[in-house]
Chain A
């Protein structure tokens, strides 16, 4: 159980175009989804938190107009990188969280999307 998928797994796009990444919780309903970014040989950095049906909360330094997040249902969140530039090239990972039977908020992670902007 607790499987999270991401699509696409990798994408190459040209500078100035937009890219949409989907994150789905396959076997549970995720009250909260998170988006992270990871540069090579570095740790994960939280970009934003999204709750179903409400606006995402962005971490300091993350441009909300550049990284558009939509959490339309309890199983789907999308991240759109608008007007992508080479510096946006990175590994983007989503996670999904739900309150477990223990009252915990354990997060489960998708396989990630590798974005390359040329």
Chain B
């Protein structure tokens, strides 16, 4: 099956800093999603982005499907951005998401 890897595994930022999280996948995808898992475990949908670029406030994402990677940009980070960020993908026309390894983000004052 498809392999999904994320980097970095851990990231500590000062409030106000910018960051880029990376997601590499081993096969072509028909769905790619980014999620934020808050400290209580809830997964929040950030982007549905199998290709192209999207922006939502301080967050943006870019997927280069031909090169099999996606990037999540966080600008002007806030303490509420802390948590784990996952990317997840489906392949082969199916609808089963394979999750990446996650990036644990901590934003400090």
Contacts and interface: CB of A to CB of B under 8 A. Distances in A.
Interface of A: 2, 32, 34, 38, 43-46, 49, 91, 93, 95, 97, 104-109, 111-112, 114
A101 to B, nearest CB: 12
A105 B90 contact: yes
Determine chain A's interface SS by DSSP, over half rule.
strand
Contacts of B86: 43-44
A91 B95 contact: no
Interface residues of B, number: 20
Determine chain B's interface SS by DSSP, over half rule.
strand
B57 interface: no
B97 A46 contact: yes
Given A32-B95, A49-B96, A111-B42, A104 B31 contact: yes
Given A32-B95, A112-B42, 19 more contacts: A34-B96, A34-B97, A43-B100, A44-B43, A44-B86, A44-B88, A49-B95, A49-B96, A91-B41, A93-B41, A95-B43, A97-B95, A105-B31, A106-B33, A107-B33, A108-B45, A111-B41, A111-B42, A112-B41
A106 B90 CA distance: 10
A105 B95 contact: yes
Interface string B28-55: 0001010100001111010010000000
A43 B37 CA distance: 10
Given A105-B90, A106-B31, A46 B96 contact: yes
Interface centre among A34, A46, A97, A109 (most CB of B within 10 A): A109
Nearest to B41: A112
Nearest to B42: A111
A60 to B, nearest CB: 10
Given A34-B96, A43-B101, A49-B96, A93 B43 contact: yes
